[in-house]
Amino acid sequence: MTSSLPTPLPPPSTPPSTPGAPVLAADRITVGYRDALVLEALSLAVAAGTATALVGPNGSGKSTLLAALARVLAPRSGAVRLDGTPLRDLPTRAVARRIALLPQTSTAPPGATVRELVEQGRYPQRGPWAMLRRTDDAAMERALERTGVAHLADRRLATLSGGERQRAWIAMALAQETDVLLLDEPTTYLDVRHQLDLLRLVGRLRDEGMTVVMVLHDLNQAARYADRVVALREGRIVADGAPEAVVTPALLRGVFEIDAVVVPDPVSGRPHFVER
Amino acid sequence: MIMVLTRGATARSTPAVVPHLLAALALAALVGAALCLGEPRLSPAAVLDALRDPTHPQHVAVTQARLPRAVLGALAGLGLAVAGLLMQDALHNQVAGPELLGVSSGAAVVTAAVVVLALPVPLAALPHLALVGALVAGVLVLLAIGGSTRDPDQVVLVGAAVSAACAGLVVAIVGLGTEGNVVVLFRYLLGSLAARGWAHVEVVLPWVVVGVGVAVLLRRRVAALALGDVAATGLGVPVVRTRLTALAVAAALAAAVASVCGPVAYVALLAPHVARRLRGSTSTARVLALTGLVGAVLLVAADLVSRLVLYPVEVPVGVATTLVGVPALVWILARTREAR
């Protein structure tokens, strides 16, 4: 694989996150379900203030890697580190004040309102006791505004379109006011316009200094909206780097088994593939 | 922005008071009615006299029969309702109830064994023994569920299987009974508040106080579970620990009630649904208090109906709750399907 780049191992202890320093790092993690190992001794360090896209065919382990970064799956060996400290050594609520997660499928009770959903995003700050404070209200309103669902705040989720519901879930994640945001296939159930709205929002959050890691199915979207594209296949990182270095005909053939040409996107200049 | 905040705040707090107030008033009115109605029927003024004056001819009837019965009904309804809410939200299952934890079956097995086999147990010790049976059954179910708390549907299946096994055991014991004692047993198996006194209240009270207290502590974590295990983990909620604690609290609440009143059906199922509708919210944290109030109202009302409807014959309260509960369950299921 011409485009494969070695992934730097994070140093044993990293300083508190400054732009460019790794804020979240998988350190030789082995992850699996029951008998099957999905990832073996995989390492990935994510620099603060960057947007990273995890791409790969179905079953490549990209969602498993995201789940491990989000502590939804505990690694059997190795560690996921937040500013150098293994996640397992941190209280889970403290982690939730640093890392927000948008799950792939949403199961909120259909009778819940958007505001109720977004209010849940304040749990990491409030805990089991505290009433809603002014800071909570402000964070919720900001999240509702950012995602364009403020006018839907009192609507029930069941009455919303798929795009609106997805934005409500992102509002919940933003209400956590974390510096790291993990998104698992955030565009899957959205029509094209809402996909682009969402990716632009992710871009703005990145510009404001947020660290974003997202699993994306659409390689062209990954190339356009991420600073770094990490391609996985069969549980291994097979390519890692800037979109120009990763989205190449060789990678498309080797990883995705498609025969394609790569041309610069006329708007962004990022690589854009077109199948033959 | 300030406009939005103010409007948001008032939209949250104003309507919340109304359903709580209504439910509290309904409970007070029902407890008042429970003290007045019966044989002999007393006026509210006479009830107040009887409560205050130890020499009043109805003093004993009011303070030792009607009042503890109403208090027990309210406490049992509160406990069952909170147990039902915890079960439904922790398992994302709109029709889950504490009967899945096997506790009422455990209490029934012990009670059936004592009554039918005529074991030499003093009557006063029966609720305590039933409580032990209920708790043992609950612990067994929780152990059987064990590692599968990651999968709520698995919990429901294991619970249903254990409950069915216990029900079979009860039927087997009933089969050994004689005409005389089986009638007594059936009254218990249908759930009843008849002839319960302060001693029964004392059995239930500490469990309800502690159980509801823990439920209050758990309410936001259980609300997060309703978003799915992945989202709850992202919010910093320990998923498995929270679910197991919620089930254990539900089991303890239902065990205490079942040991004294028998398996009172459908209150645990219905109260959360009624509360969600009244409150216009599905959030565990928001409907918890109202669910407890509604449960108390439902059980005290059902008990009043069961005392009066065929007077002087008393219908077990479980029959009344079942007659209301079954059509309501069908309605809930129909509505859940529509919502999907």
List the single residue in B5, B227, B340 with the smallest CB-CB distance to A120.
B227
- Asked if the Cβ–Cβ distance from B228 to A176 is below 8 Å, we say no
List the single residue in A72, A120, A137 with the smallest CB-CB distance to B233.
A72
* Alpha-carbon gap: A236 to the closest alpha carbon of chain B (Å): 24
* CA geometry: angle B71, B73, B76, nearest 5 deg: 105
Confidence of residue B193 (pLDDT cuts 50, 70, 90): confident
Cβ within 8 Å of B, A 57-86: 67, 70-72
Q: Which residue has the higher pLDDT, B123 or B322?
A: B322
Express as a percent the part of chain B with pLDDT over 70. 93
- Asked if the Cβ–Cβ distance from A153 to B8 is below 8 Å, we say yes
**How many separate helices (H) and strands (E) can be counted in chain A?**
10, 12
CATH number assigned to the domain covering A1-98+179-276:
3.40.50.300
Interchain contact A123–B (C-beta under 8 A): yes
Q: Which residue has the higher pLDDT, A5 or B116?
A: B116
Query: How many angstroms separate the CA atoms of B16 and B7, rounded?
Result: 15
pLDDT of residue B149: 62
- Asked if the Cβ–Cβ distance from A106 to B228 is below 8 Å, we say yes
What structural domains and CATH numbers belong to chain B? 29-339 (1.10.3470.10)
- Asked if the Cβ–Cβ distance from A103 to B230 is below 8 Å, we say yes
pLDDT of residue B13: 38
Confidence of residue A241 (pLDDT cuts 50, 70, 90): very high
pLDDT of residue A4: 44
Interchain contact A173–B (C-beta under 8 A): yes
The SS3 of residue B49 is helix
**Order of strands across the sheet with A236-241?**
A99-102, A180-184, A211-215, A51-55, A228-233, A236-241
Tokens of B198: 């302060």
In this predicted model, what pLDDT tens digit does every residue of A7-28 receive, in sequence order?
444 443 334 445 567 999 999 9
In this predicted model, what pLDDT tens digit does every residue of A152-192 receive, in sequence order?
999 988 888 888 888 999 999 999 999 999 999 998 878 88
List the single residue in B218, B226, B229 with the smallest CB-CB distance to A109.
B226
pLDDT of residue B97: 85
The SS3 of residue A53 is strand
Interchain contact B224–A (C-beta under 8 A): yes
Q: Is the pLDDT of residue A140 over 60?
A: yes
Interchain contact B154–A (C-beta under 8 A): no
pLDDT of residue B238: 93
Residue range B29-36: average pLDDT?
94
Q: Which residue has the higher pLDDT, B279 or A6?
A: B279
Interchain contact B93–A (C-beta under 8 A): no
Domain parsing of chain A, residue ranges: 1-98+179-276, 107-177
In this predicted model, what pLDDT tens digit does every residue of B44-87 receive, in sequence order?
999 999 999 889 888 988 888 899 999 999 999 999 999 999 99
pLDDT of residue B299: 94
Residues 6+ apart with CB under 8 A from A76: A30, A31, A32, A37
- Asked if the Cβ–Cβ distance from A92 to B236 is below 8 Å, we say yes
Average pLDDT for chain B: 84
Residue A44, CA distances (Å) to A5, A24, A156, B110 in order: 12, 8, 39, 58
Please tell me the number of Cα atoms within 13 Å of B58 on its side-chain side: 20
Tokens of A79: 């560690």
List the single residue in B11, B228, B283 with the smallest CB-CB distance to A112.
B283
Confidence of residue B336 (pLDDT cuts 50, 70, 90): low
Beta strands in A186-258 (DSSP E): 211-215, 228-233, 236-241
ipTM: 0.87
Find which of A82, A102, A123 to mutate to test the B interface (most B CBs within 10 Å of its CB): A123
Q: Is the pLDDT of residue B4 over 50?
A: no
Confidence of residue A67 (pLDDT cuts 50, 70, 90): very high
The distance from CA A204 to its chain's CA centroid, rounded to whole angstroms, is: 14
Residue range A195-223: average pLDDT?
93
Show residues of chain A in contact with B233, CB under 8 Å.
Answer: 70-72, 92, 101
Query: How many angstroms separate the CA atoms of B75 and B65, rounded?
Result: 15
Amino acid at A231: A
Q: Which residue has the higher pLDDT, B150 or B197?
A: B197
Q: Quick one: angle between helices B2-36 and B267-279, nearest 10?
A: 140
* Alpha-carbon gap: A257 to the closest alpha carbon of chain B (Å): 31
* Alpha-carbon gap: A218 to the closest alpha carbon of chain B (Å): 23
Show residues of chain A in contact with B217, CB under 8 Å.
Answer: 128
